[in-house]
Amino acid sequence: MFRSVPKGPADPVFILSSKVKADKSPSKIDLGVGVYRNEQGKYNELGVLKQAKEILTKAELGHDYEVTTGDAEFVKNACKALFGAETEPVKTERIASAQAISGTGSIHLAALFLSRAEEFKGKKVYVGTPAWGNYEPLFNLVGFEVVKYRHYNAERGTVAFADLLKAVDQAPSGSIFVLQGCCHNPSGADLSKEQWRTLARAMKPKSHFPFFDMAYQGLGAPLAEDAFGLRHFTEQGFELLACQSFSKNFGLYGERCGVLHILTEKEAAADNVYDQLRCLIRWEFSSSPAYGSRLVNTVLKDSALTSQWQDELAVMRERLVGLRMTLYDLLTKKHKTPGNWDVILTSTGLFCFLPLSPQQCETLGSKHHIYMLLSGRINVSGMNQSNIERIAQAINEVVQGAPSSRL
């Protein structure tokens, strides 16, 4: 029995993590892990979270099961943080919201829901590449065919916007388009406000369905600005969905705290959508995790704590920008490293593609104990003032030793 079961496909992130773990060098640097690290290279616990923990401890809420779709106050406050508290869909309750197992679980739940909806039978899912590695298997798992188009122009370090518009034009009407609202993973290349407006104008006559992945709200710009694309599509009358994660902007990685929001045309439709989500959650994982959502809600329902959270996000953003500027200056001014390094400054959020070949990335790990994905994607927060000079020096060495050539 089970002799026919093959191995699963290789996971580049898992392979990289294994290499980092196996390296016993005290000076190793991990630029691959997709979490925010502080200046000491450690987990960064927000001060507002510490306060929320104290409040919950005093409340003595216990550990009973949470409601299947999550605490109603939590999902409502999460919805306001994403769509805006005073927006018409929030006030008229046209949005069906249910807690999910962070961003990944939210995307899975959304894909599963769409696969069972009559309106999406036979539809294809369009994903810009390079993309987060889980999109394709998540959609394939529930029976969707994924069509890829180019999202990132590696030569310019920007969104390949013409390719996106071409995909929108050529896709059959009613297709599903996965859109990362901010801090694109893995490229860090985001659409400008004008590009979001143009994209909405292009998608509207084709009746395409926007599938927003909102995993990093607040890490690229203030909350409202990072949600600009989503909110603009909402204002233009689209029905859409948004997968929200609190892993990155609250540092609640292990708590797996997220919410799926589905914006419908009418409140009656939202009620039915919500009930379908309730069924899917009940059949799959029964009830929502409580602790992480209680922490988030403790902050979101208190204006003073919410303000403190936003201030802490601003500090994180400023640090990411400062690290980008330092690395750029070291490579271009101090070492005069050959190549175009502008992408370091034009990308946003945690991630950035360095213009390095897979061979150069491999050498950085094997020779210098500096680890990144072979695509050249780095987590900017893995750098700090104690290691950034060594990182720049090592990059300069591998580039000077061999010409860079991107895949």
CA atoms lying within 13 Å on the CB side of residue 359: 9
Residue 279 sits in a domain of what CATH number? 3.40.640.10
Both structure tokens of 94: 């046209």
H/E segment holding residue 240: strand 240-245
- Predicted confidence at residue 405, as pLDDT, reads 43
State the average pLDDT over residues 9-30. 89
Q: What is the pLDDT of residue 57?
A: 96
**pLDDT tens, position by position, 216-259:** 999 999 999 999 999 999 999 999 999 999 999 999 999 999 99
Whether residue 281 sits in one domain with residue 205: yes
Asked whether residue 261 is assigned to any structural domain, the reply reads: yes
Q: Write down which residue in 256, 275, 301 finishes a domain.
A: 301
Q: Is residue 54 part of a domain?
A: no
| 181 in a structural domain | yes
Pair 259, 371 in one domain? no
Give the C-alpha separation, 35 to 212, whole Å.
20
Reading the block at residue 336, the tokens are 């005069």
Question: HEC string of 257-273?
Answer: EEEEEEECCCHHHHHHH
Residue 360 lies in a domain: yes
Beta bridge partners of 168: none
Taking the C-alpha atoms of residue 136 and residue 132, their distance in angstroms, rounded to an integer, is 9
- Residue 402 pLDDT: 56
Do 199 and 143 belong to one domain? yes
Contact indicator for 252, 36 with CB cutoff of 8 Å: no
Domain span at 194: 65-301
- Name the pLDDT band for 404 (thresholds 50, 70, 90): very low
| Last residue of one domain, picked from the residues 301, 331, 358 | 301
CATH of the domain at 379: 3.90.1150.10
How far apart, in Å, are the Cα atoms of 320 and each of 290, 316, 325, 366? 31, 6, 9, 26
Q: Which of 183, 208, 181 is nearest to 196 (CA)?
A: 181
- Residues 274, 359, single domain; the answer is no
Q: Are residues 18 and 107 in the same domain?
A: no
Could you give the number of structural domains in the chain?
A: 2
Domain match, 159 and 266 both? yes
Q: Which tens digits make up the pLDDT trace of 163-186?
A: 999 999 999 999 999 999 999 999
Residues 234 and 125 in one domain: yes
| Residue 57, domain member (yes or no) | no
41-91 pLDDT, tens digit per residue, is 999 999 999 999 999 999 999 999 999 999 999 999 999 999 999 999 999
> Per the domain annotation, does 60 fall within a domain?
no
Same domain, 134 and 185: yes
pTM higher than 0.75? yes
Is residue 386 a part of any domain in this protein? yes
Is residue 254 in some structural domain? yes
Look at residue 190 and tell me whether its pLDDT is greater than 60.
yes
CA-CA distance, 315 to 366, in Å (whole number)? 33
394 and 285 belong to one structural domain: no
| Predicted local confidence at residue 13, as pLDDT | 86
Claim to verify: residue 236 and residue 380 sit in the same structural domain: no
Same domain, 141 and 210: yes
- Of 6-10, 307-311, 379-383, the least confident: 6-10
Catalytic annotation, residues: 132, 213, 248
Among 247, 274, 301, which residue terminates a domain?
Answer: 301
CA atoms within 13 A on the CB side of 353: 28
Question: Which of 242, 243, 161, 175 minimizes the C-alpha distance to 203?
Answer: 175
User: Do residue 98 and residue 241 come from a single domain?
Assistant: yes
